[in-house]
Amino acid sequence: MAFVTASLKQANWIRRWAVAACAVLAIWATGCGHKEERADLVIMNGAEPESLDPTIVTGQPDGRVAGALFEGLTRFNPKNAKPIPGLAERWDISEDGQTYTFHLRPNIVWSTGEPITADDVVYSWRRALDPLTASDYAGQLYYIKNGENFNTGKTNAATGNRYVKEDVGVEAIDPRTVKVLLEGPTPFFLDLCAFRTLAIVPRQAIEKHGDRWLMERPMPTSGPYTLEFWRIHDRIRVRKNPRYWDAANIQNELIDLLPAESANTALNLYLSGEADVIWDKNLVPSELMDVLKGRPYVHTYDYLGTYFVRFNITRKPFDDVRVRKALSLVLDKKRIVERITRSGEKIATCLTPPGMEGYTSPEGLGYDPEQARKLLAEAGYPGGKGFPTFNYLFNTSEMHKQVAVELQEMWKKELGINMELRQTEWKVYLSSQSQLDYDTTRSSWIGDYVDPNTFLDMFMSGNGNNRTGWKNPKYDDLIRQANQERDPVKRAKILYDAEVLLVREDPPIAPLFFYIGVNIFDPAKVEGVHQNLLDEHPLWPLKRKDGRTAAKAAAAK
Amino acid sequence: MYFLRRIAFLVPLLLIISFLAFMLVRVAPGGPFDKERAPASPEIEANIKKKYHLDKPLLTQYGIYLKNLLQGDFGPSLKYRNHSVNDIIAQGLPVSLTLGVLAFLLAQGFGIPLGFLTAVKKGGILDYGGSFIALLAICIPGFVIGPLLVLVFSIKLGWFPVGMWETPMHAVLPTLALGLYFGGKVARLMREGMLGTLNSEFITTARAKGLSETQVLVKHAFRIAVLPVVSYSGPLLADLLVGSFVVENIFRVPGIGVFLVNSSLNRDYTMVVGLVLLYAVLLLVLNLLVDLAYSMLDRRVKME
């Protein structure tokens, strides 16, 4: 009898374990998502986009996807980042450079079939400027007549009324023609038209669904791709828009854009063949650059990005230009690019990176410790005596920290002054910087279009990105003059003079180096990932050279 | 009765938690709309704040939040402006839940037998070996074991994918990276519980009654010795279910663990409060279940 109960008990146990094991297997099998069809191209795109609304986006990874969905009147030539015709096939510019007349392509339609008209352009630009849209990048449209007035809610002195969207200098002459009035001749206006903030967005969907318009279906797009799905932190899948005006030349049917936080993971995915392209610099592990540099799939290139130090002009002793110059003159930038960044960065003495056609930056302050000590003594701190301990604000990152430590050492060794590291998380860093709650701080800037103005207007007195408290009326005047000047040679000279003030005569900043862009892809497999000054990577030129497409793979199955 | 009272108590507790989270995240310097690029004018920033009611007094803001919350709406994410917090949780939570349950089962399935064995064979080679393994599991953090697993099993051996979340094979390495550490902890708790119990008088009594060693260990000692593991399991499961920042990052798992950390770094106020509430509910409910399990395992514990 005892034997029987024991074996019954045993059977019970076995049954229980079997049930438990089945449950585990079931969770394992059902909870793990499902395998998506492999896209033609899988691209590691950078951080998770905050939005895909081109009017709203500020980040580069966001913009790359938004740019694939929505096109502007012009688009960037992927080889040199200069504007080429987009939704507009041609344009006329008035003699004074202040009136642009755009002629839309005759055959353009939304991905849902309705025609894209001049009214859509007017709507999109007014929306970008509308205070209720709250676009961070609305400033890109301030060059349009009354753009700033409408965006900032100014009152028209002549009528006593607030500026309204109808006052903005953009109008539809007929369904195919858009006339734009500018505040002044803006030599880079066609560049701005290719910038995502000015892309053409679907009124019908936005008015119907509000902030959720990107998540609703159908979602009309004006660009080469439509949004298949967007799963946050997982993937964005885009599908070719068969109604795009240049659809015949769009080769890929499906493209996946994957967000990733970890550079090592991105590289692992590339090396294991799960991803075909990595095109965000933040997804390339910088500590491996030494090893990676020589490999055939790693492509480095110059782009418009500068790493520099800001001085807080509103605090002593940095209100004294001699002090700022002294601190700048002892920076051994070569050491920083060779020992820390190591991707082949070029050292910087000016703010505007090289490579812009028709503009050469002035030579700023170089490396001259002797001169630096003299200046510091003149300012009343011989040998660093009496110089207060000051802080250097930077956001948490291994690279920024290493740079900070180098700077600390250089300032201590050459000038005998003490700097304290102040490392904070990103948001604290940003708010401290904009509230001028720092002595010196790590900074960087990436250009939005290929023109020196994208770097230089930042240091005008009222600019929200100035963040140094530096106000130089002469500088403000020069920048304003330059943007009124139609002759490119004269204009370049004026901008040059302005930059001389910024990096040589009255510097509020100390440039350290120019960024290097890094793309990872196998040129034998993928074509059309061009390296340009804006680090722009549109999806439309991409081609797979091995001819593998999702359609073919499916057919093969 | 006791459980009904506990459940009724959850409501005010969650209210207090939501209030604290709501206020505390706003005390931190910087805000959701501080960006590397300043908006073109201060008016733009004011407009954004107005849109999300951030221009109103804090208590009014909280009132608006509560009103929406009662309708099951956690509000829009301030960082990911086209998504609502509900969307993000709905997308990420099932993934984190799956990974969490798998890691939990691994931790228990690995920890309990290991702890049991090392205690029973105390002082023997099995004890030393087993305890060493448990200690190793505890000492190696996820950000070390994760990349190591990828290096060996994905890159060198090619058995498992390096990341992503698609097939059951994709779940193996993240489960190991997440579960092993807790398995080690469970093993140690189990071992200590077992050692303590084996010294108790009722075990001596059981042996004196002439029960077989297996019966003594499994039927009598185990029930009591497993109690520390049970009480640890509630918070452990809550922790595992809301995902892991490190493991989700390393394996690119689209769960909500990443948001747990990033939302507060981004000052994504609505997201922070939503996730805190989610975690609080999980923790409170699981603790309730733990207490229930206690009363079933140990008759000395009465639910009064």
A166-216 confidence digits (pLDDT tens): 999 999 999 999 999 999 999 999 999 999 999 999 999 999 998 889 988
The β-bridge relationship of strands A235-240 and A254-259 is: antiparallel
DSSP code of A39? P
Contacts of residues B129-136 at CB distance under 8 Å and 24 or more positions apart, as own/partner, are B130/B187, B131/B187, B131/B188, B131/B191, B133/B184, B133/B187, B134/B183, B134/B184, B134/B187, B134/B188, B134/B191, B135/B184, B135/B188, B136/B184
For an interface test with B, give the residue of A17, A148, A233 to mutate (most B CBs within 10 A).
A233
Report yes or no: A173 and A101 within 8 Å, Cβ to Cβ: yes
User: For position A207, what pLDDT does the model report?
Assistant: 95
Flag whether pLDDT at A11 surpasses 70: no
The β-bridge relationship of strands A419-424 and A390-395 is: parallel
3-state secondary structure B83-106: CEHHHHHHHHHHHHHHHHHHHHHH
* Closest in A24, A136, A272 to B37, CB measured: A136
Domains of chain A: 2-45+236-297+548-556 (3.40.190), 71-215 (3.90.76.10), 301-516 (3.10.105.10)
User: For position B301, what pLDDT does the model report?
Assistant: 67
Please state the rounded mean pLDDT for residues B21-41.
87
User: For position A23, what pLDDT does the model report?
Assistant: 76
* Closest in B37, B38, B88 to A232, CB measured: B88
- Tens-digit pLDDT profile for residues B169-216: 999 999 999 999 999 999 999 999 999 988 888 888 888 888 888 888
User: For position A4, what pLDDT does the model report?
Assistant: 43
Flag whether pLDDT at A371 surpasses 90: yes
pTM, rounded to two decimals: 0.89
For an interface test with A, give the residue of B54, B91, B152, B162 to mutate (most A CBs within 10 A).
B162
Name the minimum distance, in Å, from the CA of A368 to any CA of chain B.
32
Hey, is the C-beta of A142 within 8 angstroms of any chain B C-beta? yes
In the Cβ-directed half-sphere of A455, how many Cα atoms lie within 13 Å?
32
* Closest in A27, A139, A261 to B40, CB measured: A139
Report yes or no: B268 and B79 within 8 Å, Cβ to Cβ: yes
User: For position A228, what pLDDT does the model report?
Assistant: 95
Q: Does A367 or A33 have the greater pLDDT score?
A: A367
User: For position B41, what pLDDT does the model report?
Assistant: 77
- Other Cβ atoms closer than 10 A to B294: 15
- Tens-digit pLDDT profile for residues A495-553: 999 999 999 999 999 999 999 999 999 999 999 999 999 999 999 999 888 766 555 55
Look at A13-22, A66-75, B160-169, B229-238 and tell me which has the smallest mean pLDDT: A13-22
Could you tell me the pLDDT band of residue A128, with boundaries at 50, 70 and 90? Answer: very high
Hey, is the C-beta of A206 within 8 angstroms of any chain B C-beta? no
In the Cβ-directed half-sphere of B70, how many Cα atoms lie within 13 Å?
6
Report yes or no: A142 and B40 within 8 Å, Cβ to Cβ: yes
Flag whether pLDDT at B28 surpasses 70: yes
Q: Does B292 or A482 have the greater pLDDT score?
A: A482
- Tens-digit pLDDT profile for residues A485-511: 989 999 999 999 999 999 999 999 999
DSSP code of A392? E
Could you tell me the pLDDT band of residue A440, with boundaries at 50, 70 and 90? Answer: very high
Hey, is the C-beta of B76 within 8 angstroms of any chain A C-beta? yes
Q: Does B108 or B43 have the greater pLDDT score?
A: B108
Flag whether pLDDT at A2 surpasses 50: no
Give me the percent of chain B exceeding a pLDDT of 90.
59
Q: H-type helices in A31-74, by residue range?
A: 60-69
Flag whether pLDDT at B239 surpasses 90: no
Could you tell me the pLDDT band of residue A1, with boundaries at 50, 70 and 90? Answer: very low
The separation between CA A22 and the C-alpha centre of its own chain, rounded to angstroms, equals 49
- The radius of gyration of chain B's CA atoms, rounded to the nearest angstrom, is 24
DSSP code of A167? G
Give me the percent of chain A exceeding a pLDDT of 90.
78
Which residues of chain B from 201 to 230 reach within 8 Å of chain A, CB to CB? none
Complex confidence, ipTM: 0.87
Q: For residues A248 and A250, give the distance between their C-alpha atoms in angstroms, rounded to a whole number.
A: 6
